Amino acid sequence: MADDKKLWMKFKQGNNSALSTIYNQHADFLYHFGLKFTSDEAIVLDAIHDLFLTLIKSRENLGNTDNIRLYLLKAFRRQILKMLKGAGRYSSIDTANSSSDEISFSIEEEILERETIEARNESLYKAVRSLKSRQQEILYYKFTCGLKYEEICEIMDVPYDTARQLVSRAIQILRKKL
């Protein structure tokens, strides 16, 4: 994270190479993150560009950070929610379908395994979609992005205990439904 701190300081001092590095390292991640809020790629791309324009315009006044990804996630979340609320199009976080890679020895086993995984994923997808949007959002940050509770608290602007309770309650609900 010391590298992030140095890179951020260079960016704040007007180094365009640092800006380019930050953009190249984080734009794809922000894009995929934004698609969890909306399937409208144009809004996601606009939000990313607006975020970086805002950063450029106010770079001298930006706070310091030793975790650029967390800083950008927090700012991007605010940016995209503002855009979606302005357009009246806020929807809850989508959940990503995931499948496990299994080794199978026959076509029948592979087909059966695939059908089982698809059924399990469908059940999980429906269960997650039934959660409140904040519960979906916090599960996304915790398990898809792999963020720590402290980072989630910063992004969602909630106390540490609240973040842990949201995750715990969401998992309890999912266990009951599955």
What is the DSSP code (8-state) at residue 145? S
Question: How big is the CA angle at 17 (ends 56 and 23), to the nearest 5 degrees?
Answer: 60
Q: Encoding tokens for residue 168?
A: 């715990």
Per-domain boundaries in the chain: 2-86, 107-177
73, 34 Cβ separation under 8 angstroms: no
Q: Which residues contact 131 (CB under 8 A, 6 or more apart)?
A: 139, 170, 173, 174
pLDDT score at 97? 36
Contact 167, 145 (CB under 8 A): no
For 24, residues 6+ apart whose C-beta sits below 8 A from its C-beta are: none
Q: Which residues of the chain, if any, have pLDDT below 70? A: 1-2, 87-113
Spatial distance between the Cα atoms of 139 and 163, rounded to a whole number of angstroms: 10
Locus of tokens 């990503």: 96
Nearest to 93 by CA among 130, 66, 42: 130
Q: What local confidence, expressed as pLDDT, does residue 91 receive? A: 47
CATH of 2-86, picked from 1.10.10, 1.10.1740, 2.30.29, 3.40.50, is 1.10.1740
Find all residues with CB under 8 Å of 75, minimum gap 6, and list them. 51, 54, 55
CA 142, 124, 79, 85 dihedral sign is negative
Assigned CATH for 107-177: 1.10.10.10
pLDDT at residue 123 in the model: 86
Specify the DSSP class assigned to residue 58. Answer: T
The token pair at 62 is 């930006």
- pLDDT value at position 66? 86
